[in-house]
Amino acid sequence: MNVAYIRVSTIEQNEARQLEAMKDKHIEKYFTEKVSAKNTNRPKLQEMLDFVREGDTIYIHDFSRLARSTEDLLNIVNQLNDKGVHLVSNKENLDTSTPTGKLLLTMIGAIAQFERENLLERQREGIKIAKEQGKFKGGQPKAIDKELFQELKEKYNRREINKVQFAKLLNVSRPTLDKLLAAE
């Protein structure tokens, strides 16, 4: 069976470019998700890894869609090899069923990890400079109206509003609301 794994990092991003690249691959099943590849704790990735069987081929647009660290990439490839599943990358034109493909995969994985670490280092440097200039306020707890929070919490507990409504009325994100509720 030909399987495709499609991934973009955020909800705002569009996977159309990757889907277009799969048109001539005769894909029978797609696994698509919008989540960072900082680790392998991704629902559709895990579902795909459980789904594939010996003789299947997984198509990806490029290796960075599958993993951002060499370790994660190689672990996934080893898992696929153990199951007798081939991995083909369109962009790199690589097939892991060949010795050359395995060698090049290791090198590409190392480069992807290097790029990610450089990106994170530049981000840290930028945040440090912004902090020194007083421009960075990240990680500051959001000030909320505690009275309104309690009132909305009671409505939420009585199931008069759902979590999305609760967060919207409080003017915070869902993750922030979850943190507020956990701190109670």
User: Which residues are catalytic, by number?
Assistant: 9
Q: Assign 17 to helix, strand or coil.
A: helix
Question: Six-digit token pair at 135?
Answer: 């421009």
Contacts of 19 (CB under 8 A, 6+ apart): 6, 30
Rg for the chain, CA atoms, rounded: 22
Distance, CA of 81 to CA of 6 (rounded, Å): 20
